[in-house]
Amino acid sequence: MNTTTMSAPAPAASTPAPVVAPTISLGTLFRRPETGSFIGLVSVFAFFAVFGGQTFLSASGAASWLNVAAELGIIALPVGLLMIAGHLDLSVGSVVPASSMTVAIVSGHYGLPMPVGIAAALGLGLAIGFLNGYLVVRTDLPSFVVTLATLFAVAGLTLGLSVIVAGSTSVALKADPITKTIFGDFIDGKFEVILLWWIAAMLVVGFILGRTKYGNWILALGGDKVSARNAGIPTDRLNLALYMGSGLCASFVGMCQAILYNSAQVSAGQSFIFNSIIAVVIGGVILTGGYGSVIGIVLGTMTFSIVNQGIYYTGFDANWASLIIGVLLLAAVLLNNTFRSMALTHASPRAKGKTAK
Amino acid sequence: MNTPLLQLDGINKSFGPIDVLHDISLTVQRGEILCLLGDNGAGKSTLIRILSGVHKPSSGEMRMHGKAVAFDTPRDASDHGIATVHQFGGTFPLMSIGRSFFVGAEPTKPWGPFEVFDRRKANEIAVREMRQLGITRIDDGNRLVGGLSGGERQALAIARAVHFGASVLILDEPTAALGVKEAAHVLRIILQARKKGVAVIFITHNVVHALTVGDHFAVLIRGAKAADFRKGEKTREEITDLMAGGEAMAELEAEIESYMSSHDGHPPQPA
């Protein structure tokens, strides 16, 4: 019997970039959490490529859904981490407009330097995230209820304070050129610069979930809270950090929107509540937690955005998009369930090949 | 005479007015399997919870290596080398074997300026430790725990406990949900763990399983220790009688007898 299936037990410090082993086998692929969402993305893309034609496939067509995907994606990533950890965050829907208004009021209405406004907006997101996390940890109430409460409370505060401070529910913001370039410009006249931020967020969140011990903690927390705590994971601090992450990302998107559109509205962002959950669920994360991947969340976000925008390139009435999303969501969840049970039963042929040697 | 690895001395536990455990004294030696027998509600679970730091005893003393200890949290107990494996073993069905093996104690390696989770090492160790307990079917640490059989999950949990230096291994009904073959496998794994010098506290209500592996037996009835004996001192029937409090079984037998005498020697028909 050979107990050393892998020949080099010594830590290989010489290889600086140990990328995930690029093994291609059906078994390995089917065991991945994102297989279902990949199939979903390909079929949705094919559908709109056929019915949307050349304009959908052109650069401007791609830009239209990628821009939507980027804003949604930056929020869906941390929300996805929270869902893997077994929680929800509905409050993103009002953190987006709240931070949007914050940067517009601080830097637009009062004319303070942009960095101050940006810091205030992001600080607000972190604070709301901290509050969510603190309430969830302390009260042990379902996060659905807690974040539903903060969703409404923050929306009310934003509306009330905006009217008191700025006397209006919409505030103009004129960002300086540097800030504009970094957060709210177009590349090639089509692609929003926030796309690059989305890619950065993918790398950071992907690194955390896949490559650090914190990723393991998140999976364990979503798998079984009590066992995770007994294993010595600081679950309270982990929850706080995850909520602050989603607060930060939601406020980042709100801030970028204000800079991009040169103004902020009180009532922008409610759509992010369900859209982020849909993107994450299409991406193969299960609502009860403990399972999911960053690639899946990204694919889910893209799938959602293609349906959302692709409809305008077809001859169909745009009202049908919601129907497609509803059907797609159900199909994706069923598909993901199938692949998950395959992952649970399928032995990896790769490993079998290795021991046979 | 060696000092026992773990010693309970007059442990009492009550929840409000209800006495759950009454004056329990037990000793567990290194490399020995103590079978804790008892019917449902006999107080086995409460005793496990005290040992694993979930509850604190109302009175009485716990000693490890002769020194008094008190556990405030489950973490405390595991820091003292007490590991508890529950009925279904691993509780993270959707995590990979390697990942779940190291939850809370992840091996890391430097990667540029970061410390990253060393998945390869984790998988390798998890698979190797399971192999040492005789689970040879598993050769890939990336497989999900949920894909393992019940016995394999127990093995994973036991391997994990042994790897992290548990000196006392508490197994809560590890064979209860398993088929005959799988249960035999788990019993073999328990013997393997003993061979490594671990003290095992094996909770079960299956007398056959207990007699197969046990060195030392304690029977709990309604929160009190009814018997404490070593291997070979009692037969299976005596133990079963003890566990059922004697009465229940005797009552049943009497009932059947009286039925038979009033029905020309026919046993009761199944309903």
Residue-wise pLDDT for B127-172, tens only, equals: 998 888 888 888 888 888 888 888 888 888 888 888 888 899 999 8
DSSP H helical ranges for B105-235 = 119-132, 150-163, 180-195, 207-213
- Given the structure tokens 């009202």, which residue do they identify? A319
> Do A286 and B127 lie within an 8 Å CB cutoff?
no
Written as six digits, the tokens of B164 are 């992290």
Tell me the backbone φ, ψ of residue B89, rounded to 5 degrees.
Answer: 65, -130
Of the CA atoms within 13 Å of residue A238, those in its CB half-sphere come to 26
Total domains present in chain B: 1
A contacts of B71 (beta carbons < 8 Å)? none
Query: Which of A6, A7, A15, A213 has the most B C-beta neighbours within 10 Å, making it the best mutation to test the interface with B?
Result: A213
User: How far off is chain B from A236, nearest CA to CA, in Å?
Assistant: 14
Cα A281–Cα A69–Cα A321 angle in degrees, nearest 5 = 70
Q: Is B231 a residue whose pLDDT tops 60?
A: yes
Report the alpha-carbon distance of residue B126 to residue A152 in Å, rounded: 47
* A272 lies in some domain: yes
Mean pLDDT (chain B) is 85
Let me know: does A271 contact A322? Beta carbons within 8 Å: no
pLDDT along chain A (357 residues), means of 10: 38 39 57 81 92 89 94 97 96 96 94 95 97 96 95 95 91 91 90 95 95 94 87 92 97 96 88 94 90 94 93 85 88 86 63 36
Q: Which residue has the tokens 């830009």?
A: A63
Q: Which of B128, B136, B139 minimises the CB distance to A351?
A: B139
CA distances from A215 to A30, A202, A219, A241, A246 (A): 21, 14, 6, 12, 16
- Residue A244 sits at the chain B interface (C-beta within 8 Å): no
Judge whether B90 lies within some domain. yes
Quote the domain boundaries for residue B14.
6-234
Q: Taking a C-beta distance cutoff of 8 angstroms, is the pair B215, B36 a contact?
A: no
Q: How many CB atoms lie within 10 A of CB B175?
A: 27
Pull the structure tokens for residue A222.
């979503």
Residue A354 lies in a domain: no
Answer whether residue A204 is part of any domain.
yes
- Residues in A closer than 8 angstroms to B110, CB to CB, are 13
Is B132 a domain residue?
yes
- Please judge whether B142 and A351 are an interchain contact, meaning their C-beta atoms are less than 8 angstroms apart: yes
User: Does the residue B241 lie in any domain?
Assistant: no
Which range of residues forms the domain containing residue A180?
A: 35-339
The answer to whether the beta carbons of residues A172 and A265 sit under 8 Å apart is no
Q: What is the reported pLDDT for A67? A: 95
Residue B242 resides in a domain: no
Structure tokens at A100: 């949007």
CA atoms within 13 A on the CB side of A169: 8
Provide the chain A residues 271-330 that lie in CB contact (below 8 A) with chain B: 286, 290-291
- Our CA angle for B9, B10, B12, nearest 5°, is 130
Tokens of A88: 């929800």
Min mean pLDDT across A275-289, B25-39, B221-235, B245-259 is at B245-259
Chain B CB contacts of A216 under 8 Å are 95, 99, 102-103, 106, 117
Confidence (pLDDT) at A14: 37
Cross-chain Cβ contact A219/B95 below 8 Å: yes
CB atoms within 10 A of CB B75: 15
Is A212's Cβ below 8 Å from some Cβ in B? yes
Element (H, E) at A193: none
Structurally, how many domains does chain A consist of?
A: 1
Tell me if B270 is assigned to some domain.
no
Encoding tokens for residue B90? 């691993």
pLDDT, tens digit, for every residue of B71-99? 888 888 888 889 888 776 567 888 999 99
Whether A22 is in a domain gets the answer: no
In the numeric block, the tokens 């037996």 are attached to B217
User: What's B116's domain CATH number?
Assistant: 3.40.50.300
Q: How confident is the model over B182-193, as pLDDT tens digits?
A: 888 889 889 988
Closest residue in chain A to residue B73, using alpha carbons only:
A230
pTM value?
0.83
Question: Which letter, b or e, does each residue of A253-290 get, where b requires 16 or more Cβ atoms within 10 Å of its Cβ?
Answer: bbbbbbbbeebbbbebbeebbebbbbbbbbbbbbeebb
What confidence category does residue B178 fall into, taking pLDDT thresholds of 50, 70 and 90? confident
pLDDT at B54: 86
**Nearest C-alpha of chain A: how many angstroms from B271?**
40
CATH code of the domain covering residue A87: 1.10.3470
Nearest residue of B to residue A3 by CA position?
B128
